[in-house]
Structure 1
Amino acid sequence: MKLTSVDAPEFPRTLYTSEQTRQLDKRAIASGIPGAQLMKRAGRAAFGQLLQRFPGPAAITVYCGGGNNAGDGYVIAGLAAQRRIPVRVIAVGDPQKLTGEAAEARDYALQEGVDVNALPERGPEEGVIVDALLGTGISGEVRPTYAEAIAQINQSALPVLAVDVPSGLNADTGTEMGTAVRAALTVTFIGAKRGLLTGRGLALCGELVFAGLGVPEAVYAEVPGECHRFELAEALAALPARAVDAHKGDFGHVMIIGGDTGYGGAAIMAAEAAARTGAGLVSLATRPEHVAPALTRCPEIMVCGVTSGQELEPWLARPTVLVVGPGLGQSPWSEQMLQQALQSGLPLVLDADALNLLAAQRPAVAEARDNWVLTPHPGEAARLLQSVTSEVQRDRFAAVAALQKRFGGAVILKGSGSLVATPEGPLEVISAGNPGMASGGMGDVLSGILGGLLAQGLSVDRAAALGAGLHAEAADLAVGDWGERSLLATDLIPALCQLLQAEPGHV
């Protein structure tokens, strides 16, 4: 997703809920900016972006609802009329029931000669559509009349600018409330809403532009956000610089445990990713039949073939970090591998079937830990929470917070707009990534990256956020070479190396 800002060098880092954004709006008005002025600024900002992104539109059709979001739409319509651009408003909410600033915006549009019509049987066939139907206040399923309007917008195949939030998208959770507008461009105001950057938000918003509308910085200081957008350049600074006289023992030893019969590739990819992330030593404990392929693929790793937990135990004396789960399976062998890892007391990264075994209490783990990173996708998260995937996706923020509270440590809820929850600090949203990551092995590479970061001394908090961010950014870099359909997990590893070239220099 492309993120830009109208009035600042970059898209904001702090993300807000809808209620927090309303508090920002109220405090901005209390600071001396009239509500009508804020609405005019919002309309002007959106209209400016429309002309910039879709210059010379043949026509503009503005779908307006019944609240303040509609007021922004009426301002846009009035501005278009002033420019002699053919424009009309399709009023889904009764325009006569608008109050306050929204009513003033309606009157302004009418004074400029804008035609206001009821919802027609067919939508527009040319120009640009402006979606000003529903704002951040939606809490239930989209009502039938609005659903009909949204369907008309989506069926038009015309470019759509969404005002503040695509109608039908829950700005708090990123959930599509039955149906939602698919926008090419979304201009959001005052507070960057967290739901726009995860779940369905990334798919529905298109390009996302932030407009602060001149709200003073002091207002933002009064409403602290509890959620941040991850920024790679800043996080890379957490990697310690390497001394000129450094040796491999300074950068830890990662052991990957996984690769049950038929699943050796997952563990091998994780091991290679750990090595390329900068771990001093990487070893792999796997089924004996995978030893030769692993050494052929990556001779820098040490590989031991183990057939039982008892055989694994002596190998656990050397590693400083364990990554358990890539290709692990759920056989008795798998359970023994996980049990030995849990009993070691070493920092852990758990992924894939390690999480499924944990959810099934095989072996039973009663207490939370502060030295592990869990990396579930929504299905695994649902099993860990004894829930269902749809519930996890309905509120990804609540799900990742519940997982972190239950299991401790750091939790990465993977998916579109991955979320990172840690014991301390704000919840982080990873806005990078692309659909090409929907292929086998991506999670294994992530696990290896995380293990490599932990081995170099990063805390679970920092390793989780940086690892998830590196993984997503590497995918965005690699997709330029391979495209979304052809992208493979191992394609991320060269891109990962490029990104890590930005790390601090020697000391």
Structure 2
Amino acid sequence: MIPVLSREQMREFDRHAIEACRVPGVILMENAGRNAAGIVLRALGDRQAEIVIVAGGGNNGGDGFVVARRLLAQGHPAEVYLLGEAQHLKGDARVNHDAWRGLGGRVTAVTDDAGVMALSAALAALGPEDVIVDALLGTGLDRAVEGALAQVIGAINESDARVFALDVPSGLDANTGAVLGVAVRAADTVTFAHLKLGLLTPTGAEHSGDVHVVDIGVPGELFREVGCSALLFESDDASELVVPRGVATHKGSAGHVFAVAGSAGKTGAALLCARGALRAGAGLATICTFPDAADTLDQRVLEEMTARIDPALLEASLDECLARADVVVVGPGLGLDERAQRVAEHVVLTWNGTKVVDADALSAFAGRAAELARARGQLILTPHPGELGRLLGTSAADVERDRFGALARAVELTQSVVLLKGARTLVGAPGELPLVTAAGSPALATAGAGDVLAGVIAAFAKTTPPRLAAMLGAHVHALSAERWVEQRGADRGLVAHEVADGVPGVLARLLGASE
């Protein structure tokens, strides 16, 4: 897994490299800028292009001057615009400004409205083959962008040129991924030494494009001296968790997943959950539901089985039904009426095993997150931002503004594994670093995808610890969607059962990678 650092940790990383390892800051800046220029050169190939570097007055601007110098050395001159006066530059940024000027490089200072207009016109004149390097703000920003900076970022976003951001897109909060007023929308982000938290959020991903992590000349393991805030889960990590079956494996040993799911008009959610479990390797899948829903399901099931909840003996019939379960999913399509509430509360709080708590079962505990901490067994909560907002007594917008913070709060309140869905799904657990996957596709914006995910996680939870089962499930589910997109060349039209049906192919690839 790859470490992901906060703004503060990265600042401490740089300080430790300079003070403890005695690597001067100007060398760190040189290495960062050289390798960022390498990413730009790789994109350019053999062609010439207009290159505009927009630099700020801090170290991010200093990185930009190094990029300009390194591009010039490879035959690609750039126009550099500096927001502010060169006389105000300090330290390493000033050193690299002077080095650029010493080579004959031109710097146009943008100090007033006329300068902003001239820069905006220069950016507007660029075409799709041209390049803008965003070296304005970097990771230190913690307040809203206003005035000339905001206007320049707007002009960058309106340009047709390909935008490369240095470290993080300017205007993006490096910790939360929130847009602080306005933020650069980059095609590529060259981030230095380590990934930053804000790049691994839906908004951060939308603004950063393809992310390239480049070396700055000190060992990456130096992060151990300062810590990290999350870990990026990759397919190599998934391969370590997906192991070949023994020859004596049978359906009983492969795991029996029970889905307490479905209600009148929502039986499809239960079927998709069970299908996800079976496609992920569960040997048996039973849908435990109310008689009216079970009657409908009995006309549709093939591999799945059904079991009926007796409304008159609700708790007792649930206990009898779940006595045969290895892992339970509760919530998909369950409903929000009084009997569904009773079912959700009984299963979540009293069944003593691993439970994936999804959808309507999460809504049953809206505003009551702390009650989940007293549940028997182990819980894997799988909310989308709206469900997590209701659980925490806040809104989806508040969750999205700081996904890592909302995840940490949910884990603390519930003392459970929490999977927060989204473009860059997160998994948190008590006493553990959050995990995040960058796998996924907008094609997953389809009804029932979450029901499939709950079943996939449940299948993995038979043999994998809950935190890793949740992350493995999210990663495999996302890779299934990615494969569908690759095969069809479309970013929409995927339906949930196709996600489930793609899981075995993903597992086959992961098994092959592990051998």
- DSSP-derived class of the 1:501 partner: helix
Note the C-alpha offset of 1:175.
1.4
State the match for 1:5 in structure 2. Answer: none
Which string of whole-angstrom CA distances, capped at 9 and with x for unpartnered residues, describes residues 401-434 of structure 1? 1111111221001111111001243210111111
CA distance in 2, matches of 1:157, 1:310: 66
- The answer to whether the Cα contact below 8 Å between 2:369 and 2:392 also exists between their aligned partners in 1 is no
Cα distance change, pair 381–106 in 1 and its aligned pair in 2 (3 A)? same
- DSSP-derived class of the 2:439 partner: coil
- The answer to whether the Cα contact below 8 Å between 1:78 and 1:110 also exists between their aligned partners in 2 is no
CA distance in 2, matches of 1:110, 1:267: 67
State the match for 1:275 in structure 2. Answer: 278
- The answer to whether the Cα contact below 8 Å between 2:386 and 2:396 also exists between their aligned partners in 1 is yes
Structure 2 residue identity aligned to 1:120: V
Cα distance change, pair 132–392 in 1 and its aligned pair in 2 (3 A)? same
Which string of whole-angstrom CA distances, capped at 9 and with x for unpartnered residues, describes residues 238-265 of structure 1? 3454331222221221111121221111
Note the C-alpha offset of 1:309.
6.9
Cα distance change, pair 170–92 in 1 and its aligned pair in 2 (3 A)? same
State the match for 2:36 in structure 1. Answer: 46
Structure 2 residue identity aligned to 1:320: D
Note the C-alpha offset of 1:337.
2.1
Note the C-alpha offset of 1:231.
1.9
Note the C-alpha offset of 1:305.
4.2
Which string of whole-angstrom CA distances, capped at 9 and with x for unpartnered residues, describes residues 14-35 of structure 1? 1111111112212222313221
Structure 1 residue identity aligned to 2:116: P
State the match for 2:106 in structure 1. Answer: 115
State the match for 2:168 in structure 1. Answer: 165
CA distance in 1, matches of 2:22, 2:5: 22
Note the C-alpha offset of 1:50.
0.6
Cα distance change, pair 170–369 in 1 and its aligned pair in 2 (3 A)? farther
Note the C-alpha offset of 1:497.
0.6
> Where does structure 1 lack aligned partners over 5 or more consecutive residues?
1-11
Cα distance change, pair 364–135 in 1 and its aligned pair in 2 (3 A)? closer
- The answer to whether the Cα contact below 8 Å between 2:392 and 2:410 also exists between their aligned partners in 1 is yes
- DSSP-derived class of the 1:429 partner: strand
CA distance in 1, matches of 2:280, 2:51: 50
- DSSP-derived class of the 1:162 partner: strand
Which of residues 7, 12, 15 in structure 1 aligns to 2:4? 15
Within-5 A mapping of 1:190-209: 190-209=193-212
Note the C-alpha offset of 1:266.
1.1
Cα distance change, pair 248–399 in 1 and its aligned pair in 2 (3 A)? same
The alignment status of 1:349 with 2:317, answered yes or no, reads no
Cα distance change, pair 410–309 in 1 and its aligned pair in 2 (3 A)? farther
Q: CA RMSD in A?
A: 2.3
- The answer to whether the Cα contact below 8 Å between 2:231 and 2:436 also exists between their aligned partners in 1 is yes
- The answer to whether the Cα contact below 8 Å between 2:369 and 2:413 also exists between their aligned partners in 1 is no
Cα distance change, pair 177–337 in 1 and its aligned pair in 2 (3 A)? same
CA distance in 2, matches of 1:435, 1:94: 43
The alignment status of 1:230 with 2:233, answered yes or no, reads yes
Cα distance change, pair 436–218 in 1 and its aligned pair in 2 (3 A)? closer
The alignment status of 1:375 with 2:378, answered yes or no, reads no
CA distance in 2, matches of 1:372, 1:448: 14
Structure 2 residue identity aligned to 1:471: H
Which of residues 392, 399, 415 in structure 1 aligns to 2:399? 392
Which string of whole-angstrom CA distances, capped at 9 and with x for unpartnered residues, describes residues 375-403 of structure 1? 11111111111112222112111111111
- The answer to whether the Cα contact below 8 Å between 1:198 and 1:431 also exists between their aligned partners in 2 is no
Cα distance change, pair 307–142 in 1 and its aligned pair in 2 (3 A)? farther
The alignment status of 1:413 with 2:410, answered yes or no, reads no
Query: Which deviates further from its counterpart, 280-289 or 445-454?
Result: 280-289
The alignment status of 1:61 with 2:52, answered yes or no, reads yes
CA distance in 2, matches of 1:424, 1:15: 17
TM-score normalised per structure 2 = 0.90
Which of residues 505, 508, 513 in structure 2 aligns to 1:501? 508
The alignment status of 1:138 with 2:128, answered yes or no, reads no
Note the C-alpha offset of 1:364.
6.4
Query: Which deviates further from its counterpart, 371-380 or 29-38?
Result: 29-38
Which of residues 49, 61, 72 in structure 2 aligns to 1:70? 61
- DSSP-derived class of the 2:505 partner: helix
Structure 2 residue identity aligned to 1:216: P
> Where does structure 2 lack aligned partners over 5 or more consecutive residues?
none
- DSSP-derived class of the 1:411 partner: strand
The alignment status of 1:148 with 2:148, answered yes or no, reads no
CA distance in 2, matches of 1:471, 1:271: 14
Note the C-alpha offset of 1:436.
1.1
CA distance in 1, matches of 2:221, 2:496: 44
- DSSP-derived class of the 1:399 partner: helix
Cα distance change, pair 216–362 in 1 and its aligned pair in 2 (3 A)? closer
Note the C-alpha offset of 1:303.
1.2
CA distance in 2, matches of 1:365, 1:375: 13
Note the C-alpha offset of 1:291.
3.8
Structure ranking higher in helix proportion: 2
- The answer to whether the Cα contact below 8 Å between 1:82 and 1:112 also exists between their aligned partners in 2 is no
- DSSP-derived class of the 2:195 partner: coil
CA distance in 2, matches of 1:449, 1:110: 58
- DSSP-derived class of the 1:336 partner: helix
The alignment status of 1:36 with 2:26, answered yes or no, reads yes
Which string of whole-angstrom CA distances, capped at 9 and with x for unpartnered residues, describes residues 107-131 of structure 1? 1122222222224322422221000
- The answer to whether the Cα contact below 8 Å between 1:436 and 1:484 also exists between their aligned partners in 2 is yes
The alignment status of 1:328 with 2:334, answered yes or no, reads yes
CA distance in 2, matches of 1:260, 1:363: 27
Cα distance change, pair 416–94 in 1 and its aligned pair in 2 (3 A)? farther
Which of residues 449, 464, 468 in structure 1 aligns to 2:470? 464
Which string of whole-angstrom CA distances, capped at 9 and with x for unpartnered residues, describes residues 272-300 of structure 1? 00111111211002344544664565411
Which of residues 14, 25, 30 in structure 2 aligns to 1:25? 14
CA distance in 2, matches of 1:401, 1:362: 13
TM-score normalised per structure 1 = 0.92
- The answer to whether the Cα contact below 8 Å between 2:146 and 2:181 also exists between their aligned partners in 1 is no
Structure 2 residue identity aligned to 1:109: W
- The answer to whether the Cα contact below 8 Å between 1:309 and 1:336 also exists between their aligned partners in 2 is no
State the match for 1:284 in structure 2. Answer: 287
- DSSP-derived class of the 1:202 partner: helix
CA distance in 1, matches of 2:498, 2:336: 28
Note the C-alpha offset of 1:196.
0.8
- The answer to whether the Cα contact below 8 Å between 2:231 and 2:434 also exists between their aligned partners in 1 is yes
- The answer to whether the Cα contact below 8 Å between 1:309 and 1:340 also exists between their aligned partners in 2 is no
- The answer to whether the Cα contact below 8 Å between 2:372 and 2:414 also exists between their aligned partners in 1 is no
Which string of whole-angstrom CA distances, capped at 9 and with x for unpartnered residues, describes residues 118-176 of structure 1? 24322422221000011100111112221111000000121001011110111111211
Note the C-alpha offset of 1:43.
1.4
State the match for 2:321 in structure 1. Answer: 315
Cα distance change, pair 195–369 in 1 and its aligned pair in 2 (3 A)? farther
